[in-house]
Amino acid sequence: MRERKSLPVQGTEDRIVLYAYEDCPLDTGNLMRTRLDGSIVWAANPPEAQDAWVDVAFENDTLLANYWSCWQVNLSLATGAEIHREFTK
């Protein structure tokens, strides 16, 4: 899978990785937290079926990810679970 973006997780050797959505099965998701050895801590599926993550960033200590359907989601850094969602279009 091709990486589109990779962000370091402060205080760890982990990374938040956004993979090219065209390389990932829709039921797997293309946004993951990975360890240095490549193992997956979590994979976040977009909240909408048949959707894909298109961007990810840290804003202060908050992990924000956007998906194709114009939503920005605050994700838990520990689990990848959705904390809050906001429509951005």
Q: Which domain holds residue 26?
A: 3-87
Instruction: For residue 33, give the CATH number of its domain.
Output: 2.40.10.480
Least Cα distance to 53 among 68, 33, 42 occurs for 68
For 41-86, what is each residue's pLDDT tens digit? 999 988 777 789 999 999 998 999 999 999 999 999 999 999 999 9
State how many domains the chain has: 1
Global confidence as pTM: 0.91
Strand ranges for the chain from DSSP E: 3-8, 15-19, 31-34, 40-44, 53-59, 62-67, 71-75, 82-87
Q: How far apart are CA 74 and CA 84, in angstroms?
A: 5
For 9-42, what is each residue's pLDDT tens digit? 999 999 999 999 888 776 678 999 999 999 999 9
